[in-house]
Structure 1
Amino acid sequence: MKKIILLLGFISSSLLAQDQTKITFKANFDTPEIFIQLPEFSNINMRDITISPTNDEIFFTLDTPKSAFRTILTSKKVNGTWTAFAVASFSGSYHDIEPAFSPDGTQLFFASKRPKGTEKTSENDYDLWVVTKENGTWNNPTRLPETINTDKNEYYPSIASNGTIYFTAERADAKGKEDIYKSEFKNGTYQTPVSLGAGVNTKTYEYNAYISPDESFIIFGSYGRKGSLGKGDLYISFNKNNTWQEAVHLGKLINSNQIDYCPFVSFDQKYFFFTSEKTTIQATYNQLSIKQLKEVVTTGSNGTSKIYYLPFEKLLKSIQLE
């Protein structure tokens, strides 16, 4: 615990020193670009992101090497300026990942290994939790009911406008090792989760599903499918007459020979975000100097997980072209 406290202190002090204007939304570009730049943490993984429906609050996960500790960071736009990144008010004590706003912006869901009730020992598996904003602060994390959470991992919540929650889980009725499930929210109660159909789930791994608020499309990760480029690719499936159509590979514009995961579309559908471990580091060079080596391993796509973004329209057009 002492090491974790020291780590959080280092993270907080370093993040406070960041330039407060690093978050920008470019109007028009054709290929994915790194969205969040944290120079002091250029070799530490960043994964999963959510942005509020009003585009003025951001949450994402900082994942230390070998996932020794994971915590959720945040920034808020105040008077036109983004605040320095800081550890989220509800995070920083236990493994927390994969924040997701509800479409009305009143709730924030996430996955966590934090203990249940008054216990103080971390759980071995991830469960899904939710916080509600009170007086401008996200407080009082609440674990979702046993209908959703089990003694195995539940990951990557994504919420539709009607309250239905989509998530990843490993369960006895799964079509593969991990499936994408949904649980409808009726009369204030989550219903028994149902594995999505064969247009989404297969005999391999499916993970990290983003659902559009109107449930018209879903973007998710999968590993081991025919035509996969690498360690895990992103796919999209469209909902027609309440049936998920055969998933479409997002192509080389998004996918790489490394793992590509954690999709998110801004609520105004202007931007598509995703995380990737792709790298531009080459296997050979012509005698690098120490200065050149430093630049190679600390700038751009260097194999650590980074959050990228692209105009959503560009992504949809690229699918049509392939």
Structure 2
Amino acid sequence: MIKSIFAICTIIFAATTASLCQTTETSADSIPQLFEPGRISTKYPNRDIAISPDREEIFYTFQGYKREFSVIMHLMQINGEWMEPVVASFSGQFHDLEPAFAPDGKRLYFASNRPTEEGSKKADYDIWYVDKEHGKWGTPVNVGAPVNTDKNEFYPSVAENGSLYFTAEYEGNKGKEDIYVSRYSDGKYARPESLSEGVNSETYEFNAFVAPDESYIIFSSYGRADDLGGGDLYISMKNEQGEWTNARHLPAPINSEALDYCPFVSADQQYFFFTSNRSKVQQADKYKELILMMESIENGFDNVYWMKADRVLKTH
């Protein structure tokens, strides 16, 4: 039986002193590397990775070339072996994407355009969740108002205190898209609030990952002066006054001339993951060379990359 890189990486995740998985050229702590090439990172569009706190489950989004479909894929580790990806039990009928674990690993949030009532139609995306009971993921539940509206809500991320961070394009935004937070108290979500100017700007901010203790937030933005191209990753730290500091642009080669987005940090805060549609396809004058490049993994469709998190989480 062929060993998966996942099996090796599981040992690494569990041992803080272990060395990183090695690639043919560099190690994952120096520059971003494709995560599990050939299984998760493939020649097809794959994005939005979420790894359970116990490191035994992985969810990610698999999409069609033209977004004809968008499903959440599921991998499980059984007896130390990673199984092949399958469509998640709660996905496959509607456009689902952007899975995110609650910090305790017992709930999984995601975005979906599925209807709130059977037989009805829905045009916009809401935030949903499934709970894990007796080892199985249950029926999707709509988070409901005031988080969900008749506008799109995307990319959930949940703090230990239950606060729900997400992307939305509402009237009165600071920019084109803002990152919002809805505080959770007494079993209810409060009215969402747009984050301060330390995070949100006059342009697009989207797809944020918040630390469980809300000490930092990593997000994407498009159109800022230091944007390298298609949209870049930024990090804002929370200061002693509880305010979000001015976001810092993450350096190349984390950011690139392509779209770099969908950040995620492992529960042990050791590894940083993100999605990028960067490409190694180049001009060529031979048909076979062009075909080989287009059949390669880094052909311009979304892939998941990973690296050591300390370079990302360092303070200003």
Letter in 2 for 1:315: V
Q: Call closer, same or farther: CA 1:53–1:134 in 2, change over 3 Å.
A: same
How big is the shift at 1:41? 8.5
Offset of 1:42 from its aligned partner? Answer: 3.6
The percent of aligned pairs where both chains have the same amino acid is 45
2:34/2:41 contact within 8 Å kept: no
**RMSD across aligned C-alpha pairs, in angstroms?**
1.9
Report the residue type matching 2:56 in the other structure.
Answer: D
TM-score normalized by structure 1? 0.88
Unpaired runs of at least 5, structure 2: 10-19, 22-26
Question: What is the identity, as a one-letter code, of the residue corresponding to 2:206?
Answer: Y
Deviations 1:113-154 (A, max 9, x none): 001122353x21110001001221111110011100011100
Q: Does 1:217 align with 2:216?
A: yes
Residue of structure 1 aligned with 2:308, choices 307, 311, 315: 311
Confirm or deny: 8 A CA contact 1:19 1:84 kept in the other structure. Answer: no
* 3-state SS in 1 of match to 2:138: strand
Q: CA offset at residue 78 of structure 1?
A: 1.1
C-alpha distance in 1 between matches for 2:249 and 2:310: 16
When residues 41 and 243 of structure 1 are mapped into structure 2, their CA distance, relative to the original with a 3 A threshold, is closer
Is 1:288 the equivalent of 2:286?
yes
Instruction: State the alpha-carbon separation in 2 of the partners of residues 212 and 218 from structure 1.
Output: 6
Report the CA distance shift for 1:310/1:158 in structure 2 as closer, same or farther (over 3 A). same
Give me the whole-angstrom Cα distance separating, in 1, the residues matched to 2:62 and 2:146: 29
CA shift for structure 1 position 260? 0.7
- Considering fraction of residues, name the structure with more helix: 1
Q: Partner residue of 2:117?
A: 117
CA contact (8 A) 1:50 1:60 kept: yes
- Report if aligned partners of 1:164, 1:185 keep a CA contact under 8 Å in 2: yes
Cα distance in 1 for partners of 2:238, 2:312 equals 18
Determine if the alignment matches structure 1 residue 236 to structure 2 residue 235: yes
- Partner SS for 2:293: helix
Say if 1:278 and 1:215 are closer, same or farther in 2 by CA, change over 3 A.
Answer: same
2:265 match: 265
1:137 equivalent in structure 2: 136
Partner of 1:33: 33
Question: Equivalents in 1 of 2:127, 2:59: separation in Å?
Answer: 16
Deviation at 1:289, TM superposition (A): 6.0
Q: CA deviation at 1:40?
A: 10
Q: 1:252 to 1:40 in 2, by over 3 A?
A: closer
Partner of 1:66: 66
Q: Secondary structure, in 3 states, of the residue corresponding to 1:115?
A: coil
Q: Is the 8 A contact 2:42 2:303 kept in 1?
A: no
1:204 aligns with 2:203: yes
Paired AA for residue 219 in structure 1: I
Inter-partner Cα distance in structure 2 for 1:239 and 1:189? 24
**More off after superposition, 127-136 vs 299-308:** 299-308
Superposition pairs of residues 146-161 of structure 1, within 5 angstroms: 146-161=145-160
Counterparts in 2 of 1:50 and 1:244: CA distance versus 1, 3 Å: same
Q: What corresponds to 1:21 in structure 2?
A: 4
Provide Cα deviations, 1:285-319, integer angstroms capped at 9, x if missing partner.
Answer: 3x4362x43332222421110011111123346x8
- Rate the CA distance shift 1:38–1:92 in 2: closer, same or farther, 3 A: farther
What does residue 77 of structure 2 align with?
A: 77
Q: Deviations over 1:171-203 (max 9, x none)?
A: 122101110000010000000100000000001
CA distance in 1, matches of 2:94, 2:38: 22
Name 1:103's counterpart in structure 2: 103
Given the alignment of the two structures, is residue 194 of structure 1 paired with residue 193 of structure 2, yes or no? yes
Give the letter aligned to residue 228 of structure 1: D
Q: What secondary structure is seen at the aligned counterpart in 1 of 2:233?
A: strand
The DSSP-based 3-state class of the residue aligned with 1:243 is coil
Judging changes above 3 Å, is the alpha-carbon distance between structure 1 residues 213 and 78 closer, same or farther for their aligned structure 2 residues?
same
Q: Which residue of 2 aligns with 1:299?
A: 296
User: In 1, distance between residues paired with 2:205 and 2:41?
Assistant: 29
Given that residues 217 and 235 in structure 2 are in contact (C-alpha distance below 8 angstroms), is that contact kept between their aligned partners in structure 1?
yes
Sort the Cα spacing of 1:44 and 1:126 in 2 relative to 1 into closer, same or farther, 3 A: same
TM-score, reference length from structure 2:
0.89
CA distance in 1, matches of 2:227, 2:70: 28
The residue identity in structure 2 corresponding to 1:87 is V
Question: Equivalents in 2 of 1:215, 1:79: separation in Å?
Answer: 34
Cα shift readout 1:56-81 (whole Å, capped 9, x = no counterpart):
10000001111111000010111111
